[in-house]
C-alpha cells in the first residue's frame, strides 16, 4: 500500500526494524545504496526477527534506480526542516515515504529532487535534533495507514 524509502541508511538495527514494520503493515521497503552495513548483519537480522521473509524489500544502487523502479506519483521527504507536518497530508496508496541517513538526514541535493512532492516533518520539542529513523518511519506509515482505515488489518 505505502512505500518506505531509506536513502543510504547507516544503522542495521533501524533497517531491521523497518523490515519488520513493512511486513506487519503491508508496506514495501526500498533501500538506496550505499548502505552502512551488510544485509547479512546480525543486528539487522535480530531487529527484523523472523519477518525478513514476510517483507517486500528492494535494494537500489542509487536514487535514480529507485525512481525508475518506483515510478512514484507522490514522494514525501521526511526531514526536520519540512514545510508541513505528517498529519496534514492526505496519503494515497502508492505514496513514497522517504527518509535519510541517521547521522545527517537527507542532503540538500536530495531534498531538491524534482520527484519530491513535499518536505514533511514530524513535530518534536524545540532544540532536539531528531527522532530515531525506524521510529520516524513507524509514525509516518501508521498515520498513512490509519487514514485508510488500517486496510487489510485485523482490528
pLDDT at 74: 98
pLDDT at 40: 79
52 or 68, which is more confident? 68
Residue 100 labeled ligand binder: yes
Query: From the CB of residue 98, how many other CB atoms can be counted at a distance below 10 Å?
Result: 31
152 CB burial (10 A radius; 0-12, 13-18, 19+)? exposed
The pLDDT confidence band at residue 145, using thresholds 50, 70 and 90, is very high
CB 13 within 8 A of CB 105: no
- Whether omega for the bond prior to residue 127 falls within 30 degrees of 0, making it cis, is no
What are the tens digits of pLDDT across the range 65-101?
Answer: 999 999 999 999 999 999 999 999 999 999 999 999 9
Domains with residue ranges and CATH for the chain: 3-147 (3.40.1280.10)
Q: What is the helix (H) or strand (E) element at residue 42, kind and residue range?
A: helix 42-48
Partners of 7 in the β-ladder: 32
Query: From the CB of residue 66, how many other CB atoms can be counted at a distance below 10 Å?
Result: 24
Residue 11 labeled ligand binder: no
Q: What one-character DSSP code corresponds to residue 99? A: E
- Write out the three cell numbers for 78: 521526511
Amino acid at each position: 500500500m505505502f512505500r518506505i524509502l531509506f536513502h543510504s541508511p547507516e544503522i542495521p538495527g533501524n533497517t531491521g526494524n523497518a523490515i519488520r514494520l513493512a511486513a506487519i503493515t503491508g508496506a514495501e521497503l526500498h533501500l538506496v545504496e550505499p548502505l552502512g552495513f551488510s544485509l547479512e548483519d546480525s543486528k539487522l537480522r535480530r531487529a527484523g526477527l523472523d519477518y525478513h521473509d514476510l517483507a517486500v524489500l528492494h535494494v537500489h544502487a542509487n536514487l535514480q534506480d529507485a525512481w525508475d523502479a518506483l515510478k512514484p506519483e507522490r514522494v514525501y521527504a521526511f526531514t526536520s526542516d519540512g514545510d508541513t507536518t505528517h498529519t496534514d497530508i492526505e496519503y494515497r496508496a502508492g505514496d513514497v515515504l522517504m527518509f535519510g541517513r541517521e547521522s545527517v538526514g537527507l542532503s540538500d541535493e536530495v531534498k531538491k529532487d524534482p520527484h519530491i512532492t513535499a518536505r514533511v516533518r514530524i513535530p518534536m520539542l524545540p532544540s532536539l535534533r531528531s527522532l530515531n529513523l525506524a521510529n520516524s518511519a513507524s509514525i509516518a506509515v501508521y498515520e498513512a495507514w490509519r487514514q485508510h482505515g488500517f486496510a487489510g488489518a485485523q482490528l
